[in-house]
Amino acid sequence: MHYDKIKEPVGRFFNRSPWLRKLFYRLLDLLLLRTWHVHRELKKWRSQASPEAHILDAGSGFGQYTYFLTRLGKNYS
């Protein structure tokens, strides 16, 4: 799939407020099957990771996985 054509306008709309951004992430969770798989793998990773892990989210979508990780570990940076 080619997301580049739609990423910019969608990102502009949902970046208007934190509430819209969170809503967008919830919608992605519902609509994309791969999100379910990524969340499952991130939960597995968390069981082995340091409680103060440093995480780089580069090129993995709209930032929804970073948001998910911040909810998994409050000390992640």
Q: What is the pTM of this model?
A: 0.62
**What pLDDT digit, counting tens, does each position of 16-36 carry?**
998 998 888 888 778 878 888
Which has the closest alpha carbon to 45: 9, 12, 13, 76?
76
Instruction: List, in sequence order, every beta strand (DSSP E) within the chain.
Output: none
The DSSP letter of residue 62 is S
Tell me which residue range forms the domain holding 16.
4-72
Q: Is residue 29 part of a domain?
A: yes
Half-sphere exposure of 1 (CA within 13 A, CB side): 6
Q: What percent of the chain has pLDDT over 90?
A: 4
Q: Is residue 56 part of a domain?
A: yes
pLDDT band at 44 (very low <50, low <70, confident <90, very high): very high
Q: Is residue 77 part of a domain?
A: no
Q: What percent of the chain has pLDDT over 70?
A: 94
User: According to the model, what pLDDT value does residue 54 have?
Assistant: 86
The total number of structural domains that make up the chain: 1
Q: Is residue 20 part of a domain?
A: yes
Q: Is residue 18 part of a domain?
A: yes
Q: Is residue 62 part of a domain?
A: yes
63: phi > 0 → left, psi -120 to 50 → alpha, else beta; which?
Answer: left
Q: Is residue 14 part of a domain?
A: yes
Q: Is residue 31 part of a domain?
A: yes
